[in-house]
Amino acid sequence: MTQTTENSVPRPLPEDWERALAVVAHPDDLEFGSSSAIARWTGQGKDVVELLVTKGEAGIDGMAPEECAPLRMAEQRASAAAVGAATVEFLDFPDGTLEYGLPLRAALAAAIRRHRPEVVVSINFRDHFPGANGFNHADHRVLGPALLDAVRDAANRWVFREQLDEGLRPWSGVRFVAFGASPRATHYVELGEDDLAAGVASLDAHEVYLSNLSGFDQKAFLPRAAARSGEWAGVPLATAFEVFET
């Protein structure tokens, strides 16, 4: 697994592939930038599967987890539909207390072996988001390294051997893993106005969740972020990714 040198000249994310697996911790994670790129890719006829490691059940302070989880799952399915991702799957790890370890790696490796993606997409796992003072969510910081390890695990038939008995063959076809909204971005995806509009619609689909965030301007957030990334990349609109090549 190699990382493109940070602070290098921004380069376009390769798009000569057909299948991607987008893996994040919570409903709404993809929608803070990456979903606009997903809209572009599905518009090109690519297949993008969304995998949520938790059900987001701890995400709304005034709503009990058993009530929150079904709501947030429904909002994620509506969000995925807005950008053309036809398949949404959920694992059952606990929201807010995700731990790095073999159970998480095994579940991610199984998903990679099952879906056989050429590209894996996720969210920033660094300590901070670009321009933000707050510390990144613990689940995000755990998921990134586990996902990178799971890509390697999925390729090794002698790791999680029991999955062979379940019909899950090793998969070494992942070309790179791209983390959106990273402060160490190396690549970009140029967006059209329609891609950005679909991304905004996908964020809007998290209606109840967003209504519980104080001071967040959801209509302005993605256009501003796309313009900033576009300025960095030298194009009108973009979303940025930190890329690890395999």
What are 102's two structure tokens?
Answer: 């073999």
The predicted structure's pLDDT at residue 218: 81
Please report the pLDDT score of residue 17 as a whole number: 98
What are the chain's domains?
15-245 (3.40.50.10320)
Q: Are 90 and 107 in contact (CB under 8 A)?
A: no
Residue type, 224: R
CA angle, 89 as apex, 85 and 94 as ends, to 5°? Answer: 135
Give the pLDDT of the chain (246 residues) as one tens digit per residue. 766 555 579 999 999 999 999 999 999 999 987 999 999 999 999 999 999 999 999 999 999 999 999 999 999 999 999 999 999 999 999 999 999 999 999 999 999 999 999 999 999 999 999 988 899 999 999 999 999 999 999 999 999 999 999 999 999 999 999 999 999 999 999 999 999 999 999 999 999 999 998 888 888 999 999 999 999 999 999 999 999 999
Q: How far is CA 27 from the centre of its chain?
A: 10
Rounded Cα–Cα distance for residues 127 and 196 (Å):
26
| List of residues 6+ apart from 182 with CB closer than 8 A | 124, 125, 126, 130, 240, 241, 242
Q: Tokens 């051997």 map to which residue?
A: 161
Q: What's the rounded Cα separation, in Å, for the pair 38 and 47?
A: 9
Tell me the H-state helices in the chain: 34-43, 65-82, 102-115, 138-155, 162-165, 193-204, 207-211, 218-233
